[in-house]
Structure 1
Amino acid sequence: MLLTGRQPENPLPLRGISEIRTGMMSSMHATPTDSDSLDVETFANPVQQRRFATAMERIASARAPGNPVRIFVSAGPRAMNGPKWDNWLALIAESLPDGVEILHYRQVFNDDRPYDWGSIVEDLDGLIIVGKQKRPGSRVYLLGPIARLELRSLVARKPVLLYGHNLGLIPVIDCKSQVLAPEDAPRLKLIAPKRWRKDSATLQAALHALTPASEDTSTGQHTNVVDHLAHPFAAPPR
């Protein structure tokens, strides 16, 4: 079991999960049509936004001082091997609250520990998806089957955000989505709103939920490597 085998730090009550799933996942099933416009600040309706904010506040208020906050940055091999990867990670870090631990595939999975999302998901406090931009300047991002499943595993109970190139972090609830074929390994298309604002209430709520509860949060630094824990994602002893 990962770390101490604990349950998620801030699980939502059953009613809360149901409510936030209604708010988040209903926007996740919208299918764009020719008449749809991207000229909006968010694709979430006011009820979905309120439910999201309430759930994020519940997560923030339940976090105990000193508990680490870990967010996973999910990106495909092409993105991670590209020349902009380090810059993207730096921009993501600058957008997150101080003290958040940023993890990604190369830190967690390797030849000795193959990819196993189920072994780490319950100890993550959030997820950032780096999708493939349809074309330069586009607000359309494509997610492969693995990223789609990772998103679905957390979207109903933790902050899940899209990293939009030139847009910054966008809560997935604010995006329009479309499931793409093939059916046996569906991909996901996320469309960022054209008038997206970085001071949106949903983003502020998500960042609040990702803020470590500590007496001293003035360090001004992000922890990119979890060095205060001894191999936190190591395989359990046999």
Structure 2
Amino acid sequence: MHATQKPRYDDPLDVETFARPEQQRRYIAAMNRIAADRGSDTPVRVYVSASPKTVNDSNWQRWLKRITEDLPEGVELLHYRSAFEEGSYEWDTLVDQLDGLVVIGRPKRLGSRVHVLGPVARLELRSLVAKKPVLLFTHNLGLVPVIDCMSQVMPPSGAPRLKLIAPKRWNRRSSTLNAALDALRPTGATSQEPEPPRDLGAHLVAPFAVGAR
């Protein structure tokens, strides 16, 4: 008599994206509008959000180089050291000058798809995710649009962190990534392949709904 096999369950993380098809369509349409509205010779500035530990890591310059290579040619990268004078942090002044954001979180382990953003990075993400392309930098997958990630707010409640999980079957040829990169492409550049703690997943794409900003 054969041993009874345990039933197999689908892995909810084994997907190409955590966004619903309707959310993807709205996101792509929003990115296309940003690309169409970009003026001639308008500079494109992207801020790289990283913790002091990450900036002080010996690999920091290598990671910046890789992000530069993954973004369209001609994009200007900013980060804490280049955007602010020593001892100052005037994010509210800088944010209106930015065209996009790349967040670098703390990976759960080497090669992990799970990345944790600190309280400051979470707030920086929240201030731009409704209006501009926001991408998660992963060491093994490259840039992943935050819309495609699963998100979860983590304690402590006074300074909540944000966990972002990249989908297992993420594909660099995805329509959301291509749309985000087009939204960050300087005019004339050629296309290349490429609050209280709560779950942010449901509203990461809310600003791209019909009738929203």
Question: What range describes the TM-score normalised by the shorter chain of this pair?
Answer: 0.7 to 0.9
Give the paired residue count: 183
How do 1:88-107 and structure 2 match up within 5 A? 88-107=63-82
Corresponding position of 1:58: 33
Decide whether aligned partners of structure 1 residues 35 and 110 sit closer, same or farther in structure 2, where only a CA change above 3 A counts: farther
CA distance in 1, matches of 2:53, 2:177: 27
Greater Cα radius of gyration, structure 1 or 2:
2
Aligned-partner Cα distance in 2 for 1:52–1:96? 18
- TM-score using structure 1 length: 0.74
* Partner AA of 1:124 in structure 2: L
Partner residue of 1:28? none
Deviation at 1:122, TM superposition (A): 0.5
User: What is the CA deviation profile of residues 155-202 of structure 1, one whole-angstrom value per residue up to 9, with x for unaligned ones?
Assistant: 011000000111100000000010001111100000000110100000
Cα deviation, residue 116, structure 1: 1.4
| Matching of residue 197 in structure 1 with residue 139 in structure 2 | no
After TM superposition, the structure 1 stretch with the greater mean CA deviation from structure 2, 36-45 or 157-166, is: 36-45
Q: String of CA shifts for 1:106-147, please: whole Å, max 9, x gaps.
A: 101232x60111010001000000100011121100000000
Q: What amino acid does structure 2 have at the position aligned with 1:44? A: A
**Aligned to 1:126, which of 85, 93, 100?**
100
d(CA) in 1 for partners of 2:156 and 2:75? 36
Confirm whether residue 145 of structure 1 aligns to residue 119 of structure 2: yes
**TM superposition outliers: structure 1 runs of 4+ over 3 Å:** none
Matched, 1:84 2:72: no
CA distance in 1, matches of 2:56, 2:30: 35
What's the secondary structure of 1:120's corresponding residue?
A: helix
- Identity value in percent: 60
> What does 1:213-232 correspond to in 2, within 5 Å?
213-214=187-188, 217=189
Give the SS at the match of 1:150. helix
**Structure 2 residue runs without a partner (length 5+):** 1-8, 193-213
Q: Structure with the greater relative contact order (CA < 8 A, sep ≥ 6): 1 or 2? A: 1
- Quick one: which of 90, 93, 104 aligns to 1:116? 90
C-alpha separation in 2, matches of 1:123 and 1:108: 11
User: Gapped runs of 5+ residues in structure 1?
Assistant: 1-33, 221-238
